[in-house]
Structure 1
Amino acid sequence: MTQPDSPATVVIYSGGMDSYTVLHRALREGRRVHALSFDYGQRHARELEVARRVCQRLGMPHQVVDITAIHGLIDASALTDASRTLPEADYEETSLQDTVVPNRNMILLSLAIAKAVNIGADRVDYGAHGGDHVLYPDCRPEFVAAMQAVAGLAHFTPIAVHAPYLHHDKTAILADGLAMGLDYAETWTCYRGEALACGRCGSCRERLAAFAANGVRDPLSYSQRPDSHADSQHSSSGATDQQPDPAVSSAQGSATGDH
């Protein structure tokens, strides 16, 4: 259990599976976690809603920061401009450059570092991972090292910039989360904010591939998923994907952890 005098960490928490795993990893380290989410004018608020529910369940401090005033500065992306068509493909530089939000992580990290200084935390955590290195410059080791250098100079008290999965891909992140017994029904990954995840966008496809590589079934419902019939077909027959299948339950039940 976290102690009042435990070191504090600010976790940039989007509500997606990577930041969800980072958040729980910090908790398992015994840190006092302050979750920080951002509304920067993204196409939908599903991830933010999921983040709120998780933090409420955990009884964790959670702040959603409205920075929509900067939307006009970062709207050259399919994730922030609803008039643009969302790419439906695996992550490749040629097809998914339109999902890059200009300078997003530098902006969010800068604000999270300020929050850390303000509350006396010594670390900021975020979910950059190796699978993003080709497409997203602000998830690469060189960027993290540069931000770490700046965070050590910008204030009287240096703040550590911690990206625990910087050299791991989403398959490894999921494996770590499953070993912690985490329930990924508490996350949202899809670029669309519809009732069901689409199963077609790059984010959905990468997520589903990570579950397949770990030999478990994603507990989220999809309108179309490559690893099975469409969830709508399951629903019409009375079945549901809202709960993990036995393989997921087995993996989670055999894991150690207090989640």
Structure 2
Amino acid sequence: MSDSANPAPKAVVIYSGGMDSFTVLHRALRQGYEVHALSFHYGQRHARELDMARHVCRRLAIAHQVVDIQSIHSLIDGSALTDAQRPMPEGAYAGDNLAATVVPNRNMILLSLAIAQAVNIGAGICFYGAHGGDHVLYPDCRPEFVERMNAVAAIANFSPVTIEAPYLRADKADILADGLAMGLDYADTWTCYQGGEHACGRCGSCHERLAAFAAHGLADPLAYASTGTA
């Protein structure tokens, strides 16, 4: 426990409201950090994850900012995640059918802003939820990217910041196992690429999430419009 003489170290957590960053958020809290959660509205096609993030941070009574960077939308609108007119790929994660969901330079942009906040508030570490299941498709979730961003974060300011991706070499089932061990309720997360009343059950993100729960012999607490192809 921290006290006024020995305050808890500060950490910035990039928190989308999805199950990966939800688990990272709680992991940082369990490690004793004073967490400052940072979410971004960059023009994604729905805001369901952001609503979840607000709900969780209010319940946990932790500092939370939703940063509106929608003005950059025209720079990154070539993705199915940022252009609602583009069809959303369905099926399991694979480079041939989900390349359309890559948002150009997204994690470099978000990490740059998170590092700035870390320096501003005196935090020495910035967490984000990259994981091994994303390596096949998203270059900014691979170890090489994290290593190089870490090198830059160490010299970009007078105060060095460490980037921590605790699940960088884990898959979604591993992340879920860690969260279950912490007693987390994944009804407080949104993973689906669509923003409907229920998760679609067809997009790559839903497939991966449902497979993680199935690997543990559990039912996902979220409601799905369809799970016939999961």
| TM-score, normalised relative to structure 1 | 0.86
Q: Unaligned regions of 5+ residues in structure 2, if any?
A: none
- CA distance in structure 1 between the aligned counterparts of 2:176 and 2:136, rounded to whole angstroms: 20
CA shift, 1:226, in A, is 3.7
Verify the 8 A CA contact 1:8 1:33 in the aligned structure 2.
Answer: yes
Matching residue of 1:172:
174
- Determine which of 95, 98, 123 is the counterpart of 1:96: 98
Verify the 8 A CA contact 1:89 1:202 in the aligned structure 2.
Answer: yes
Match status 1:82 vs 2:105: no
Q: Which has the higher contact order (CA 8 A, sep 6+)?
A: 2
| TM-score, normalised relative to structure 2 | 0.97
CA shift, 1:227, in A, is 8.6
How well do the aligned residues superpose, as a CA RMSD in angstroms?
Answer: 1.2
- CA distance in structure 1 between the aligned counterparts of 2:228 and 2:67, rounded to whole angstroms: 35
- CA distance in structure 2 between the aligned counterparts of 1:176 and 1:110, rounded to whole angstroms: 27
- Determine which of 1, 13, 16 is the counterpart of 1:14: 16
- CA distance in structure 2 between the aligned counterparts of 1:127 and 1:2, rounded to whole angstroms: 26
After the TM superposition, list the runs of 4 or more consecutive aligned residues in structure 1 that deviate by more than 3 angstroms. 1-4
SS at match of 1:63: strand
Q: Unaligned regions of 5+ residues in structure 1, if any?
A: 229-259
Question: Identity across aligned pairs (percent)?
Answer: 69
Match status 1:133 vs 2:135: yes
Letter in 2 for 1:65: V
Deviations 1:105-127 (A, max 9, x none): 00000000000000000000000
SS at match of 2:155: coil
Matching residue of 2:226:
224
- CA distance in structure 2 between the aligned counterparts of 1:204 and 1:138, rounded to whole angstroms: 20
Matching residue of 1:70:
72
Verify the 8 A CA contact 2:11 2:123 in the aligned structure 1.
Answer: yes
The alignment of Structure 1 onto Structure 2 pairs a total of residues equal to 228
